Amino acid sequence: MKVASSVSARLAAQLSICAFLLTLPVCWAQQDSVLRTRPAGNWTTQIFLCDTRVRLGDCTSEIEILKSHLQAFPVAQLGSWTWVLVRSDRWKDLGLDSASPAYTAMEDRLTLIDESMLVEKNAPRTEELMRKFELPLPALVDFAVTHEMGHALCGFKEEGKADAVGRRLREGKLPYCSIPSKLREKFPVKVQADVWGGTQEAAVAASK
């Protein structure tokens, strides 16, 4: 889902610098705001982290909710991937788009998740998200997870293309897509290019 361009442009450098200086798994810096995380477990090839401002007990229970949704989809095709649970009142502080409950940094192989999508701890924020997407929370989690997987599995930056892949996943179909050659080494997923329901050539052209 969309994110402020200022964050997206500096993400890779910020993650590397913060992780080195603070010896933390992930650090996201935007102006004077820094997101510090703690490990929250692994599942298959998936790595989970929580914003340190999320209470330990809440972190554990909310990550279990997230995992229960991920289990319905082919996350193994992501390879090693990191999911970061962010406290809802930190979302805007970090420069993230308030209209979106999740954000994927493809080259850093991680996805940020607004905890308001998992639990109703921040009622106004949860209601805002449900109203925008016109979905109850469980369906919203599935929508967001599959949409972000559309970015992650296929290397698609465009929202519409990620939506197409997400829709296939929610329908129980394989996440076929075409991966641009320059990203192929970062996303070693062997899939066919029929996201658009057309020819291989059309799908390759659409992914560029």
DSSP 3-state of 174? coil
Of residues 65, 208, 192, 54, the one with CA closest to residue 141: 65
> What pLDDT is recorded for position 61?
95
Of residues 179, 169, 196, 182, the one with CA closest to residue 75: 169
Amino acid at 208: K
Amino acid at 34: V
Residues 6+ apart with CB under 8 A from 31: 95
Handedness of CA 191, 163, 27, 16 (dihedral sign): positive
**Which residues of the chain fall short of a pLDDT of 70?**
1-33, 175-208
Domains in the chain, start-ordered, CATH in brackets? 5-174 (3.40.390)
Sheet holding 110-114, edge to edge: 27-30, 33-43, 46-51, 81-86, 110-114, 102-105
